[in-house]
Amino acid sequence: MRTQVGIIGAGPAGLLLSHLLHLRGISSVVLERRSRDHVERRVRAGVLEQGTVDTLVAAGVGERMLREGLPHHGIELRYGGAGHRIPFEKLVPGRAITVYGQQEVVKDLIAARLEAGGDLRFEVEDVALHALEDRPYLTFGGERLDCDVIAGCDGFHGVSRPAVPEGVLTTYEREYPFAWLGILAQVAPSSEELIYARGERGFALHSMRSPTLSRFYLQVPPDAVAEDWPDGRVWDELKARLETVPGFTLATGEIVEKSVTPMRSYVVEPMQYGRLYLAGDAAHIVPPTGAKGLNLAVADVRVLTEALAAYFRDGSTGLLDGYSAACLKRVWRAQHFSWWMTTLLHTFDSDDAYGRRLQLSYLDYVTSSEAAATTLAENYVGYEW
């Protein structure tokens, strides 16, 4: 078998890349080790930047997102017994975020690729990368796929990044002394916008997926397991961390999913080796506080699409050679913002009274200074594309 671009991973990065390449007349094959049902059901990020929304709409896969997604024009920072709204419509006019689950984006992309006759292969075993320097090919399940380029879109635990020879990539990482317990509940949201709550008990986030489905996160110890958090304990802790302003009552309901997510920052440089190009979580991880993971993957794919289009159009390699540098500029901005939001809102060492006072001082600054609030808003909705 032969194709122009072999894509490993059927998450948002791999599927969107395949679709954008298809629109440019470039062939691809997508290999995914999980089942289609699994990738369409796994709950992940749900906050889409303005640039991500615009990309999906321009690619012809945004119709359901525009119909069912929830546009938001602000977020609330809650601390010290009060809520403070960061108004996007005032600070960054014309730009917002849309709440639309990552699994819904995946469903839309899979449907679009299959309708266009795309080659998507699920439950593929033993994927391996070969000859990355000049004539790359992939092997899987006893088959071989020759390609001009390989795109590694298979996430942090995938096979693409480890295929790069040792010593080529430089790793930058930071682990945080806590994790997030994620909760999906069959209950209408108690707020029209996201609430980021900072308190002495730890961080909490009130989000949503639809008018009847709410998403919550709790800061928990790094070794926490979901089984240690029965439903009653979850609701008690969410109430303790969120019901801190007069008149707010948290609605409760059936919890349909719980999971624990470790918190880490991670980047590898460069994001390319030979004919292999890494995109999304295969190259970088951000703590979810800033809602940047999915959006960074989309940004990578946009850059890679333009580079591949130029290469297959006239053999130009300039954009491909500069792929990593172009992506990393945005990656490091998102890394800083995600780190900043994380350190601003979470409880660290319980004995660090000095650190807690610094947090509160900066929160006061962000919520009282238009310049500081604009910086948060601009980063949150994403820079112009």
- What residues are annotated to the active site? 72, 196, 288, 292, 380
- Can you say whether the dihedral through the CA atoms of 106, 111, 117, 122 is positive or negative? positive
The one-letter amino acid code at 18 reads: S
Decide if 169 contacts 160 (C-beta within 8 A): no
Q: How far is CA 110 from CA 19, 37, 100, in A?
A: 9, 11, 16
Residues 6+ apart with CB under 8 A from 349: 355
Distance CA 38, CA 190 (A): 29
Residue 175 phi, psi (nearest 5): -105, 145
Residue 160 tokens read as 């693409």
Question: Which residue, 350, 83, 45, is CA-closest to 202?
Answer: 350
Distance CA 85, CA 106 (A): 31
Distance CA 257, CA 375 (A): 34
Decide if 20 contacts 308 (C-beta within 8 A): no
Q: In whole angstroms, what separates CA 364 from the centre of its chain?
A: 28
Q: Which helix H or strand E contains 59, and what residues bound it?
A: none
Q: In whole angstroms, what separates CA 44 from the centre of its chain?
A: 8
